[in-house]
């Protein structure tokens, strides 16, 4: 894959957040042709055939999800774009929001038409002030050009996009928490079933996809499902955005074929480790997924390969840690985040995240005992698979994997022989 698509703005000389520049570059022509020449069912089948899997973390087949919308209910269908992106280590979607929002809008027009949606929402993270302003301007400009609203592109299709700004809660990245927030409620995730495709926002059929997922739709419809399937592995193809942060020379977001090796991502695209340092650990998919040791990075960064290695691709937020990193301090920082962000609805999460942070604080501050290590693992184990949403699992998985992969550091911490360097860890976490 030689050309950039999702990050096309990096290779052009004009500002693609400006609608005139976007249109001059061929923007909105794919949506115009799709609404003129294809039926909604044909678009759904194209996305289904492409093998596109959700880029927000779960990796569920996008086209298949679209087919779950029931027919003939008499209720409106809603499309929600999850632009919350609050997983630590993740910063890819904001690139599209800030630099190429019309790519997302055009893709949402096509997607809304495909599932029979008139009113779509973009739920954007509250802290994304630049992205919010850029997106609102782009949506207003699209209305002014007749690309949104009634009778778009001179036809009889109506698509409206509403931008809904969040208030900074991590839990709103969970699809049903997001739905509750749009409805004006506290973002307590819902029990499933019923799933959002059947009973979502305002009690109506709802599809929730994230920014990167939806942005792929325009390119699939423009270039074809076979083109998309030719990139990366058969089980989850297409271009992929990888965000690399931490102790590398060139942190950033890289658009590469799905399945690019983790070693290549770190050593080639991100420029390798800082001078004089050695790799110690990598979190491959945002802070909630199990950590990998330095000797475990010879894997392909696709859903199935990372799962086989014992972790998750997640949001593809790659956090790189060198040999100066204190793993106890990193885990305490991660646990503090999930404790702070727990919505408090479920007891294992509300109480468990607090226990994890309290125990880790005691260990890091030099007051831990060997029994604390067993207690950490026991609490984390009891939190997994016991709550309405997966935030409890997100808090527990790092604890269990850090204890498993770097047990010696935790043992040293409770024996008083650690000599830890917390500042380096805080810089990463």
Question: According to the model, what pLDDT value does residue 426 have?
Answer: 41
Alpha carbon distances (Å) from 125 to 59, 97, 128, 209, 344: 21, 11, 6, 15, 20
Q: CB–CB of 281/294 below 8 Å?
A: yes
Q: Is the peptide bond before 193 cis (omega within 30 degrees of 0)?
A: yes
Q: CB–CB of 131/97 below 8 Å?
A: yes
Alpha carbon distances (Å) from 259 to 226, 243, 265, 273, 348: 17, 14, 10, 21, 35
Indicate if 310 and 331 belong to the same structural domain.
no
Q: CB–CB of 159/112 below 8 Å?
A: yes
Instruction: Identify whether 2 is part of a domain.
Output: no
Indicate if 252 and 401 belong to the same structural domain.
no
Phi, psi (degrees; rounded to nearest 5) at 368: -80, 165
Give the residue from 211, 229, 247 where a domain finishes: 229
Indicate if 306 and 333 belong to the same structural domain.
no
Q: CB–CB of 287/269 below 8 Å?
A: no
Would you give per-residue pLDDT tens digits along the chain (429 residues)? 668 999 999 999 999 999 999 999 999 999 999 999 999 999 999 999 999 999 988 899 999 999 999 998 999 999 999 999 999 999 999 999 999 999 999 999 999 999 999 999 999 999 999 999 999 999 999 999 999 999 999 999 999 999 999 988 999 999 999 999 999 999 999 999 999 999 999 999 999 999 999 999 999 999 999 999 999 999 999 999 999 999 999 999 999 999 999 999 999 999 999 988 999 999 999 999 999 999 999 999 999 999 999 999 999 999 999 999 999 999 999 999 999 999 999 999 999 999 999 999 999 999 999 999 999 999 999 999 999 999 999 999 999 999 999 999 999 999 876 654 333 344 444
Indicate if 210 and 306 belong to the same structural domain.
no
Q: Residue 65: enclosing H or E segment and its boundaries?
A: helix 62-67
Indicate if 165 and 300 belong to the same structural domain.
no
Instruction: Identify whether 234 is part of a domain.
Output: no
- As a whole number of Å, the end-to-end CA separation of the chain is 32
- The residue among 317, 318, 306 whose CA lies nearest residue 267 is 318
- The CATH number linked to 18 is 3.40.50.11540
Name the percent of the chain in helix, strand, coil, to the closest 5.
50, 15, 40
Indicate if 256 and 358 belong to the same structural domain.
no
Indicate if 410 and 423 belong to the same structural domain.
yes
- The CATH number linked to 400 is 1.20.1440.230
When divided into structural domains, the chain yields a total of 3
Indicate if 415 and 334 belong to the same structural domain.
yes
How far is C-alpha 224 from the chain's CA centre? 24
Token code pair at residue 72 = 């003939």
Domain housing 89: 8-229
pTM above 0.75, yes or no: yes
Question: According to the model, what pLDDT value does residue 420 have?
Answer: 42
Q: Report the distance separating Cα 397 and Cα 309, nearest Å.
A: 14
Indicate if 372 and 308 belong to the same structural domain.
no
Token code pair at residue 163 = 């931008």
């Amino acid at each position: 894959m030689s050309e950039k698509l999702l990050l096309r703005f990096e290779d052009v000389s004009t500002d693609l957040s400006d609608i005139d520049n976007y249109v001059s570059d061929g923007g909105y022509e794919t949506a115009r042709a799709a609404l003129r020449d294809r039926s909604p069912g044909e678009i759904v089948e194209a996305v289904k055939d492409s093998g596109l899997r959700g880029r927000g973390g779960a990796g569920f087949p996008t086209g298949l999800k679209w087919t779950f919308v029931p027919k003939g209910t008499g209720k409106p269908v809603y499309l929600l774009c999850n632009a919350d992106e609050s997983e630590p280590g993740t910063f890819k979607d904001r690139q599209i929001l800030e630099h190429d929002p019309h790519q997302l809008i055009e893709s949402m027009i096509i997607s809304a038409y495909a599932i029979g949606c008139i009113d779509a929402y973009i739920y954007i993270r509250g802290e994304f002030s630049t992205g919010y302003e850029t997106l609102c301007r782009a949506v207003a400009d699209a209305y002014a050009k007749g690309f949104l609203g009634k009778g778009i592109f001179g036809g009889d299709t109506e698509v409206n996009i509403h931008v809904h700004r969040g208030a900074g809660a991590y839990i709103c990245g969970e699809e049903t928490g997001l739905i509750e927030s749009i409805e004006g409620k506290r973002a307590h995730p819902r029990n499933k079933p019923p799933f959002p495709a059947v009973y979502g926002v305002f009690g109506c059929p709802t599809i929730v996809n994230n920014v990167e997922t939806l942005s792929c739709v325009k390119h699939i419809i423009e270039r074809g499902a076979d083109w998309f399937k030719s990139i990366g592995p058969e089980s989850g193809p297409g271009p992929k955005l990888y965000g690399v942060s931490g102790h590398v020379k060139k942190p950033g977001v890289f658009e590469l074929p799905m399945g690019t090796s983790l070693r290549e991502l770190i050593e080639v695209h991100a420029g390798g480790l800082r001078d004089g340092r050695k790799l110690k650990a990598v979190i491959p998919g945002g802070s909630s997924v199990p950590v990998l040791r330095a000797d475990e990075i010879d894997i392909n960064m696709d859903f199935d390969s990372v799962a086989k290695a014992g972790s998750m691709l997640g949001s593809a937020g790659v956090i790189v840690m060198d040999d100066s990193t204190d793993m106890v301090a990193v885990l305490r920082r991660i646990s503090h985040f999930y404790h702070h962000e727990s919505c408090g609805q479920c007891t294992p999460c509300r109480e468990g995240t607090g226990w994890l942070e309290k125990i880790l604080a005691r260990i890091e501050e030099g007051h831990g005992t060997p029994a604390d290590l067993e207690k950490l693992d026991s609490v984390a184990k009891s939190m997994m698979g016991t709550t309405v949403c997966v935030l409890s699992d997100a808090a527990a998985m790092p604890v269990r994997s850090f204890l498993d992969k770097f047990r010696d550091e935790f043992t040293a911490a409770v024996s008083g022989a650690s000599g830890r360097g917390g500042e380096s860890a805080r810089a990463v976490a």
